[in-house]
């Protein structure tokens, strides 16, 4: 049976060019990048080349890139590092109700330590209002953290508008850019952000490498201790093969960004339109505009989402009900309930996230599989 992958927001297959870079690094560049001998300096060169490649994708200075183990560590480093680096108390953090657990988790830890946290509501379209951010700012606000593109809906947040507010108030702005990088253009200067989180495995690179952009002058306390790596911002011997692969993936994404956006966006629209036209009791969650071009979140009334994931998997299609980090959770998606959906409709929703490997024939086959699976599941739920 052929299998087709429509879950690129969870992770992506590693691009062949990226595999080649990583394998060559594993076989030939085994020195420690902190060593001053030939082998160490060869590793250092690969590390710094990747730093330039990642920086170029977001139009940043390479010296402002801190390599991490992935997006979750980058988010934790930003949220906890900024707040711990501020001496004044009481402290206050502003975020949104639809952030990834990698941001909501550290915010919860900060609350337990006495830091006030405001979680802003989102509109029915799936975006937060810059005016709501403005109204939430207090004299003791030390950080605003808002994701660039939502992992479940694909909706793009008004980051530049929020940045103008935070800049005027002298408050650092952290943006979780994990689901935006490589899907839409990113320019950290044009956006006005102070910290920007990234992850390689959402970008056709292997798991285990990510980065945090830290604008020069942003105070960031370490959250891990032990060494002077990454300019004293993240101790630990760097994962040179993984980082080199991340750099290669970033360069590839930059070259293909415009063509990928157009082609994959067209496929996403083809999928959505076909579902809405051929399957009753369906609709798109959140706005259909101002989204990443690869992401669609659709509800199928009267269906259990997990059952539909299994039914589609048996037919050879990989999709998801939402964030992979939250799979297995009994509660409905916090993003969809924040959107205003009922628990039943949230549980009946599916995320389709397309990528480079998908084509029109696969999309059409997925629609046929959906029609058959939804019809079957609705029939047995009526007779249950």
What is the DSSP-derived secondary structure letter of residue 203?
Answer: T
Give the active site residues.
Answer: 325
| Other C-beta atoms lying within 10 Å of the C-beta of residue 186 | 26
Structure tokens at 382: 């009526």
The residue behind tokens 């084509």 is: 359
| Other C-beta atoms lying within 10 Å of the C-beta of residue 12 | 24
Contact by Cβ (8 Å): 348, 305: yes
Structure tokens at 156: 């793009």
Q: Which residues pair with 296 in a beta bridge?
A: 352
Taking the C-alpha atoms of residue 359 and residue 244, their distance in angstroms, rounded to an integer, is 29
Taking the C-alpha atoms of residue 213 and residue 215, their distance in angstroms, rounded to an integer, is 6
Contact by Cβ (8 Å): 271, 363: yes
For CA atoms 162, 164, 167, 168, give the dihedral sign: negative
What is the DSSP-derived secondary structure letter of residue 235?
Answer: -
């Amino acid at each position: 049976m052929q299998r087709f992958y429509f879950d690129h927001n969870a992770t992506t297959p590693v691009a062949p060019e990226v595999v080649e870079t990583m394998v060559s690094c594993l076989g030939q560049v085994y020195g420690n990048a902190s060593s001053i001998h030939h082998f160490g300096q060869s590793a250092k060169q690969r590390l710094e080349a990747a730093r330039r490649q990642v920086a170029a994708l977001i139009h940043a200075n390479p010296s402002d890139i801190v390599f991490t183990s992935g997006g979750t560590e980058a988010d934790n480093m930003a949220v906890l590092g900024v707040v711990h680096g501020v001496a004044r108390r009481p402290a206050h953090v502003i975020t949104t109700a639809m952030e990834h657990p990698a941001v909501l988790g550290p915010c919860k830890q900060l609350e337990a330590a006495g830091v006030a946290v405001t979680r802003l509501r989102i509109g029915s379209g799936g975006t937060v209002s810059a005016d709501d951010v403005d109204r939430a700012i207090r004299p003791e606000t030390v950080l605003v953290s808002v994701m660039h593109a939502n992992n479940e809906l694909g909706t793009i947040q008004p980051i530049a508008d929020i940045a103008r507010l935070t800049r005027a108030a002298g408050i650092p702005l952290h943006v979780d850019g994990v689901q935006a990088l490589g899907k839409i253009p990113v320019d950290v200067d044009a956006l006005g952000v102070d910290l920007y989180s990234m992850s390689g495995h959402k970008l056709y690179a292997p798991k285990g490498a990510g980065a945090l952009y830290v604008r020069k002058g942003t105070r960031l306390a370490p959250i891990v201790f032990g060494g002077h790596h990454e300019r004293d911002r993240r101790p630990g011997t760097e994962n040179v093969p993984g980082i080199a692969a991340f750099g290669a993936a970033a360069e590839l994404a930059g070259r293909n960004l415009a063509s990928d956006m157009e082609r994959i966006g067209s496929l996403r629209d083809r999928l959505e339109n076909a579902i809405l036209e051929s399957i009753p009791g369906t609709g798109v969650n959140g706005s259909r505009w101002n989204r990443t071009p690869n992401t669609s979140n659709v509800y199928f009334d009267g269906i259990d989402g997990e059952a539909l994931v299994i039914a589609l998997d048996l037919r050879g299609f990989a999709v998801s009900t939402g964030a992979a980090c939250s799979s297995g959770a009994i509660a409905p998606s916090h993003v969809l309930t924040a959107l205003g959906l009922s628990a039943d409709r949230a549980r009946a929703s599916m995320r389709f996230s397309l990528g480079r490997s998908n084509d029109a024939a696969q999309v059409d086959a997925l629609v046929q599989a959906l029609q058959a699976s939804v019809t079957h599941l609705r029939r047995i739920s009526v007779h249950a």
